[in-house]
Amino acid sequence: MEIPYAVKPRPDTGLYNAKLGIWLFLASEVMLFGALFSSYILLRVNAEEGTWPHHWLNIWLGMTNTFVLILSSVTVVLGWAALKMNQFKRYKLYQGITILCALVFLCIKSFEYRDKFMHYEVHLKDGRIADGHKQPESTDKVLVLEGRYVASHAELMEGEVHHEAEPRIEIPRDQIASMENYGPWHNTYTAIYFTLTGLHALHVIGGAIVIFAIWGPLAKVWEQDPERYTNRVEVSGLFWHFVDLVWIFLFPVLYLL
């Protein structure tokens, strides 16, 4: 028994099964991220005046990642086009760059995550507020931050644009009333930031694994059934474009606005 149109397109729809399947799957993905972006809008519109932070993320890192993903989108297409022209070696090169781009993106992203987890807002018992990155010299007795004292919690909402070099401050642990890092629990902004980028990162990882599997372990399919192999590359490429597109929305929403 053989499933019709598994490789060749059906004449009246012009699509092979997997291509239609991936478009439908992407439609559901649009609804998934659409719901999350809608949630973002609703939460932000409902936020009280002065509680929504700005400029908490490094725009240059975000911009680099945007270009890394755009580059990967280009190489995915070039890889597929190379297969269509029967140039397997060039496909290997281009799709190799795609996988490399995914890794670079994830490295930069994890660096950004680590930065947020090391970033603390510390409320002292005398009412002062310190804000900065925890340093490895910190001990059980003293917390060492690279940061500053701020006048109020509201000042933190404007982010890191107003100051450059940050001094080292040492705070004895017994003077700390409460401290919290900039993890998802910190406020609504970090919550939606980690959720959206985390879910996106899972998509990047999933897409990269599939693209790698087709590129590496499953490459022998090319010799047996080149058309099926090219279809697989096309379908995984469509998914990859979607993942890139989500980031194109995420970058301005989380970094710039």
Partner 1 sequence: MQPTPHDDPHTHESHHAELGFWRKYIFSTDHKIIGLQYGITALLFMFFGFCLMMMMRWQLAYPGKALPVVGTWLYHLLGPEMVGKDAAGHVGVIMPDLYNSFGAMHGTIMVFLAIVPLAFGAFGNFVTPLQIGAPDMAFPRVNMASYQFYFLGGVIMFASFFIPGGAAQSGWTSYSPLATVTNDAQHPNGQTFWIFGMVCLINSSLLGAVNFITTIIQLRAKGLNWMRMPFFVWAQFVTAFLLLLAFPPLEAASVLQLMDNLLHTSFFLPTGLMVSGQPLHISGGGSPLLWQHLFWFLGHPEVYVLILPAMGIVTEIIANNTRKPIWGYRSMVYSVMVIGFLSFIVWAHHMYLTGMGTRIATFFQTTTMMISIPSVIILTALFISLWGASIRINTPMLFALGFLPMFGIGGLTGLPLGFNASDIQLHDTYYVIAHFHYIVAPGTIFALFAGIYFWYPKMTGRFMNEFWGKVHFGLSFLFMNLLFMPMFVQGLEGMSRRMYDGAATYAESGGVVGLSKYIVGLNVPISHAAWALGLAQIPFIINFFYSIKHGRKTGSDNPWEATTLDWQTPTPPPHGNFDKPVEVFRGPYEYSVPNPRRDFIPQNEPSQPEPLTHGNPVRS
Q: How many amino acids of this chain bind partner 1 (CB under 8 A)?
A: 42
The smaller minimum CB distance to partner 1, of residues 82 and 233, is found at: 233
Taking a C-beta distance cutoff of 8 angstroms, is the pair 171, 122 a contact? Answer: yes
The smaller minimum CB distance to partner 1, of residues 71 and 176, is found at: 176
What is the rounded CA–CA span in Å between residue 240 and residue 257? Answer: 25
Single out the residue of 76, 192, 204, 214 in contact with partner 1 (rule: CB under 8 A).
192
What is the rounded CA–CA span in Å between residue 117 and residue 94? Answer: 35
66 sits near partner 1 (criterion: CB under 8 A): no
CA 95 to chain centre: 20
Sign of CA dihedral 55, 254, 102, 182: positive
The smaller minimum CB distance to partner 1, of residues 2 and 140, is found at: 2
The minimum distance between CB 168 and partner 1, in angstroms, equals 28
Helix (H, G, I), strand (E, B), or coil: what is residue 39?
helix
174 sits near partner 1 (criterion: CB under 8 A): no
78 sits near partner 1 (criterion: CB under 8 A): no
The minimum distance between CB 28 and partner 1, in angstroms, equals 5
The minimum distance between CB 21 and partner 1, in angstroms, equals 5
Taking a C-beta distance cutoff of 8 angstroms, is the pair 141, 112 a contact? Answer: no
The minimum distance between CB 118 and partner 1, in angstroms, equals 17
250 sits near partner 1 (criterion: CB under 8 A): no
Single out the residue of 8, 35, 59, 154 in contact with partner 1 (rule: CB under 8 A).
35
Residues 193-222 that bind partner 1 (CB under 8 A): 194-195, 199
Neighbours of 48 (CB within 10 A): 6
152 sits near partner 1 (criterion: CB under 8 A): no
Single out the residue of 67, 111, 185, 249 in contact with partner 1 (rule: CB under 8 A).
185
Structure tokens at 206: 């999933």
17 sits near partner 1 (criterion: CB under 8 A): yes
The smaller minimum CB distance to partner 1, of residues 18 and 99, is found at: 18
Contacts (Cβ under 8 Å, ≥6 apart) of 115: 58, 133
Helix (H, G, I), strand (E, B), or coil: what is residue 166?
coil
Backbone angles phi, psi at 54, to 5 degrees: -125, 155
106 sits near partner 1 (criterion: CB under 8 A): no
Q: Which stretch binds partner 1 (CB under 8 A): 23-31, 80-88, 108-116, 248-256?
A: 23-31
Helix (H, G, I), strand (E, B), or coil: what is residue 13?
coil
Strand-pair partners of 123: 129, 178
Taking a C-beta distance cutoff of 8 angstroms, is the pair 143, 131 a contact? Answer: no
User: What are all long-range contacts of 150-155, with beta carbons under 8 Å and residues at least 24 apart?
Assistant: 153/121, 153/129, 154/50
The footprint of partner 1 (CB under 8 A) covers 1-6, 10, 13, 15, 17-18, 20-21, 24-25, 27-29, 31-36, 39, 42-43, 46-48, 51, 183-188, 191-192, 194-195, 199
